[in-house]
């Protein structure tokens, strides 16, 4: 006990001496000399100090992107620290599978062991005060993990341990993963304050390829394509292409485009980033949004034809407005223009296809539209949208999937009639599903199927009536044009006859004149 007390006493006096020297050093040495001395002191200590440390910062690339290594280390240490660390941080994470997540507190240390090698991890949290003047001074937070080990284990740590930590961290994250549905925030809220780029909720859509009513061959084809993409890391690297794939889903409303995106996310176990283009102010912001998306994700732009005027008409409109307007009107219009999104077609193409699109990797991009013909061919050319999928009206096979989903019915005496009707008329899967869904607890499958038959028959009659009306309209138009033509012909003939008569009259008068002249001779 006495020895301990002596030791503490010595340690105290050493610390006091060091502090005194440090204060003198800071006070009496000018900054350049201080820096110079510091560099040499560090070099000297590294000669004596047998330990090496590696720093893993939270952000990389000028705070543009959260480091994947940092996230993986955090997950790895969180899984290990709850048993070893004495100071833990508890967070209630809403979308995690475990309600309370324990992790290492800031400035806490834990040890780890790997192949007989001892390692020290510590988490650091620094607050760097912002120098710029503001009424709301923001502080810049910096977090990092520091790994320390003896220099004789350098090879083991660099070659194997770090890889082990990153792989393990990623595997734990995948095991505990809950899919998220992100949406982009307006660039600044109404006070003009900057907000985070994406907000998310837990993605819990139950759609799967099993429940998707689709032609079986088409379904198989899409599934194969997705699997090939997901396992294609080496292949994409070999051919020198960014690891991404574009899907264009098109078809009438209610044919399952959005449902297919949900099924894709569940199948691939990817997050969804639902990008609302109209809330993006300009191309630079669009690029930043894309960089912030994580890998293993689906970036979706729904109804791409309505999202933006991507055909370059906007410029023309602006020019027209400018030409015809006086100053005040012009200013007002410019202000209105400023509020609009300024994302252009080329900006969007750059994001999908340009060099920035390779950031992150393992990304699926999906566009949906009801009107594929309206889209600029540049936007959907192969290579950008690699696979074009048409989702159309319900067929008998798709109906059977819906009947199984909604009514647990594999076959029924009414099926043949329904098959016949599907050959004669068109109905979207959304309408079929709505008819099949029992409207009360007592309602039986047969009632639902009868309701569907009735709806199909009505749709058939309506289609027939519409076709007849169109036919009649076409006929009336044809007759009208025939009538007009005949009238024009009559008119033309009348005019011709009149002209001929006039000509005849003129030539008659000439003869008379000639006769007069000749008689005069």
| Residues in touch with ligand ATP (CB under 6 A) | 212-214, 253-259, 370, 429-430, 433
Least CB distance to Mg ion at residue 197 (A) = 23
Gyration radius (Cα) of the chain, Å: 38
Which residue of 258, 293, 297, 428 would you call a contact of Mg ion, by CB under 5 A?
258
Q: Which is nearer to Mg ion, 161 or 273 (CB)?
A: 273
Cα dihedral across residues 485, 491, 493, 495: positive or negative: negative
259 is an interface residue for Mg ion by CB under 5 A: no
Which residue's entry shows tokens 């440090």?
22
Least CB distance to Mg ion at residue 198 (A) = 20
End-to-end CA separation in angstroms for the chain: 165
Least CB distance to ligand ATP at residue 242 (A) = 27
Per-residue b/e over 94-104, b at no fewer than 16 CB within 10 Å?
eeeeeeebbbb
Residue 196 in 3-state DSSP? coil
Q: Which stretch binds Mg ion (CB under 5 A): 14-22, 172-180, 255-263, 460-468?
A: 255-263
Distance CA 452, CA 459 (A): 10
Q: Which is nearer to Mg ion, 302 or 362 (CB)?
A: 302
Q: Which is nearer to ligand ATP, 259 or 357 (CB)?
A: 259
Backbone phi and psi for residue 51, each to the nearest 5 degrees, phi listed first: -100, 145
Q: Which is nearer to Mg ion, 105 or 303 (CB)?
A: 303
Least CB distance to ligand ATP at residue 366 (A) = 11
297 is an interface residue for Mg ion by CB under 5 A: no
Q: Which stretch binds Mg ion (CB under 5 A): 202-210, 228-236, 256-264, 484-492?
A: 256-264
Q: Binding partner of residue 370 among ligand ATP, Mg ion, none, CB under 5 to 8 Å per kind?
A: ligand ATP
369 is an interface residue for Mg ion by CB under 5 A: no
Q: Which is nearer to ligand ATP, 10 or 278 (CB)?
A: 278
74 is an interface residue for Mg ion by CB under 5 A: no
Instruction: Compute how many other C-beta atoms are within 10 angstroms of the C-beta atom of residue 128.
Output: 9
Q: Which is nearer to ligand ATP, 73 or 222 (CB)?
A: 222
Q: Which is nearer to ligand ATP, 110 or 265 (CB)?
A: 265
Q: Which is nearer to ligand ATP, 270 or 406 (CB)?
A: 406
Backbone phi and psi for residue 443, each to the nearest 5 degrees, phi listed first: -60, 130
Least CB distance to Mg ion at residue 391 (A) = 10
Quote the tokens at residue 205.
């859509």
Q: Binding partner of residue 293 among Mg ion, ligand ATP, none, CB under 5 to 8 Å per kind?
A: none
Backbone phi and psi for residue 136, each to the nearest 5 degrees, phi listed first: -120, 75
Q: Binding partner of residue 214 among ligand ATP, Mg ion, none, CB under 5 to 8 Å per kind?
A: ligand ATP
Q: Binding partner of residue 433 among Mg ion, ligand ATP, none, CB under 5 to 8 Å per kind?
A: ligand ATP
307 is an interface residue for Mg ion by CB under 5 A: no
Q: Which is nearer to ligand ATP, 169 or 256 (CB)?
A: 256
Q: How many residues bind Mg ion (CB under 5 A)?
A: 2
* DSSP symbols for 359-384: SS--EEEEEEES-GGGS-HHHHSTTT
Least CB distance to Mg ion at residue 262 (A) = 10
Q: Which stretch binds Mg ion (CB under 5 A): 209-217, 249-257, 264-272, 471-479?
A: 249-257
Contact 480, 488 (CB under 8 A): no
Least CB distance to ligand ATP at residue 447 (A) = 20
Distance CA 489, CA 486 (A): 5
* DSSP symbols for 205-258: ----TTTS---HHHHHHHHHHHHHHHT-HHHHHHHT--SEEEEEEE-STTSSHH
The residue ranges of DSSP E strands in 360-477, in sequence order, are 363-369, 387-390
Q: Vertex 18, ends 15 and 22: CA angle to 5°? A: 135
Least CB distance to ligand ATP at residue 302 (A) = 7
Q: Which stretch binds Mg ion (CB under 5 A): 19-27, 81-89, 251-259, 459-467?
A: 251-259
Distance CA 173, CA 171 (A): 5
Least CB distance to ligand ATP at residue 213 (A) = 4
Cα dihedral across residues 502, 507, 511, 517: positive or negative: positive
Q: Which residue's CB atom is positioned nearest to Mg ion?
A: 258
Least CB distance to ligand ATP at residue 102 (A) = 39
Closest CA to 69 of 165, 190, 151, 147: 165
Give contact residues for Mg ion (rule: CB under 5 A): 257-258
């Amino acid at each position: 006990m006495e020895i301990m007390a002596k030791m503490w006493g010595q340690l105290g006096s050493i610390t006091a001496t060091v502090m005194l020297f440090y204060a003198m050093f800071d006070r009496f040495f000018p900054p350049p000399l201080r820096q110079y001395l510091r560099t040499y002191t560090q070099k000297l200590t590294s000669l004596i100090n047998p330990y090496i440390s590696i720093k893993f910062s939270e952000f990389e690339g000028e705070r543009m992107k959260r480091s994947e290594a940092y996230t993986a280390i955090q997950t790895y240490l969180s899984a290990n620290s709850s048993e070893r660390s004495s100071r833990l941080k508890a967070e209630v994470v809403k979308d995690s599978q475990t309600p309370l997540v324990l992790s290492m507190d800031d400035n806490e240390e834990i040890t780890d062991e790997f192949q007989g090698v001892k390692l020290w991890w510590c988490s650091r949290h620094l607050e760097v005060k912002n120098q710029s003047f503001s009424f709301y001074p923001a502080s810049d937070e910096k977090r990092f993990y520091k790994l320390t080990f003896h220099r004789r284990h350098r090879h083991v740590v660099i070659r194997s341990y770090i890889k082990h930590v990153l792989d393990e961290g990623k595997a734990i994250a995948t095991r505990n993963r809950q899919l998220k549905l992100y949406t982009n925030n307006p660039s600044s809220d109404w006070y003009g304050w900057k907000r985070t780029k994406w907000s998310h909720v837990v993605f819990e859509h139950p759609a799967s390829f099993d429940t998707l009513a689709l032609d079986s061959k088409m379904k198989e084809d899409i599934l194969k394509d997705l699997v090939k993409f997901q396992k294609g890391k080496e292949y994409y690297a070999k051919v020198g292409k960014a690891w991404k794939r574009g899907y264009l889903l098109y078809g009438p409303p209610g044919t399952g485009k959005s449902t297919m995106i949900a099924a894709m996310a569940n199948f691939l176990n990817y997050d969804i980033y639902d990008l609302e283009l109209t809330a993006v102010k300009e191309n630079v912001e669009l690029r930043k949004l894309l960089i912030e998306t994580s890998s293993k994700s689906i970036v979706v732009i729904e109804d791409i034809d309505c999202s933006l005027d991507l055909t370059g008409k906007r410029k023309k409109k602006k020019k027209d407005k400018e030409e015809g307007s006086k100053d005040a009107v012009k200013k007002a219009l410019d202000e209105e223009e400023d509020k609009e999104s300024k994302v252009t077609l080329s900006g969007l193409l750059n994001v999908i296809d340009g060099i920035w699109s390779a950031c992150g990797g393992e990304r699926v991009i999906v566009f949906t539209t009801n009107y594929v013909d309206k889209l600029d061919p540049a936007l959907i050319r192969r290579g950008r949208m690699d696979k074009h999928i048409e989702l159309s009206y319900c067929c008998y096979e798709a109906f059977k999937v819906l009947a199984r989903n909604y009514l647990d019915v594999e076959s029924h005496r009414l099926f043949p009639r329904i098959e016949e009707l599907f050959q004669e008329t068109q109905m979207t899967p959304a309408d079929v599903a709505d008819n099949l869904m029992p409207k009360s607890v007592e309602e039986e499958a047969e009632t639902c199927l009868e309701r569907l038959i009735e709806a199909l028959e009505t749709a058939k009659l309506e289609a027939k009536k519409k076709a007849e009306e169109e036919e009649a309209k076409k006929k009336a138009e044809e007759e009208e044009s025939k009538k007009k033509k005949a009238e024009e012909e009559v008119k033309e003939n009348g005019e011709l006859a009149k002209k001929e008569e006039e000509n005849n009259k003129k030539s008659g008068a000439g003869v008379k004149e000639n006769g007069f002249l000749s008689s005069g001779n």
